[in-house]
Chains A and B, each alone.
Chain A
Amino acid sequence: MSIIKEIAAAVETGKSKVVGGLVETALAEGIDPAVILNEGMIAAMGVVGEKFKNNEIFVPEMLIAARAMKKGVEILQPQLQKQGVEPIGKIILGTVAGDLHDIGKNLVGMMLEGAGFKVIDLGVDVPAEKFIETMKANPDCKIVALSALLTSTMPAITSTIKAIEDAGLRNTVLIMIGGAPVTQAFADEVGADGYSEDAASAAELAKKLFAQANK
């Protein structure tokens, strides 16, 4: 098995103690850090996402895979920086105002990182002003991802999008939304650019939106 395949297998199965050593070996063999990242780790997280979507694996397996990838990235990071390898994009993520739920949002964050994005996680109960402030501080951010778990906090998605519009920033980002009560119909109604029903699909959607934003 090639070292890249070994890294991918270790990430996929959540072997966080092994991944670092494998990444070091790959680097010592002169393998391009970008290849290690993309073909080893990000590809593995893609497989994890697919299996999660199909109920072949569940939340714990996904979490330990994400943890293993993180370990690998820690080793890889200095080399990636040296080579000027940047994350594929930046995403601002948060659960909207009035909603304290973070499980779905955190899983989405992990899968976005697993897909190669830099995620600015604003946490839970995030007021619209905070999203706007973060957007202004990160003008290179192309996607804002909003989460709500409760029907009673879905209106905060609407008001956050409205506040982004009022701040004159709507054209600078694409907005994706999700959460248990959220549907595609709701996304259409509030003028979001995308909706996904689970964390793995969110990473795919983000890649699609990012490609769209960079056209």
Chain B
Amino acid sequence: MSGKLIEIRWHGRGGQGAVTSAELVAQAAINEGKYAQAFPSFTPERRGAPVLAFNRINAEEPIRSRAEVYRPDIVIILDATLLGILDVTSGLKDGGTVIINTKKSVEQIRAEFGINGRVATVDASRIAQEAGIPAVNTTMIGALIKATNVITFEGIKEPLERRFARVAERNLKAMERAYQETVIRE
């Protein structure tokens, strides 16, 4: 049963929208007929301080665990300045994926922070800025779709519209561009 369960940990700073990202991803998965959870790290959050959010997704079975996520399959980092101060790969499963918003190449990230295994990078800050959206959280969902198959663009549309109404289209465009520009190294 646990083989089909995918756990995601989002790293961001308060105000960057990590919790919203997790929420949108869960809603997308649920719209696709899957089972999913999204939850924040349950701490009093402050703008700018490191925050966590989580997803559990299971394509086939209802999710029962309500414990914390200890062994994520996927880690997503919305803010590269967290790389130097946190062990972002803590608990990451063997064969797991790390997705980072950074200007740097995967090779530079490996050399500088010693992150081995499957790594995906994208300059989501630039993409979001050029798209005229104030946060990278939705843009990074494009990188998640590229690097994994946990959700699809089809599934994310409705939650995006529900959440962002008129600016949903702009977020979707940034997401699609991030999908194109994400570089993955095994």
State yes or no: do A and B come from one complex: no
A contact set with B: CB distance below 8 Å: none
B contact set with A: CB distance below 8 Å: none
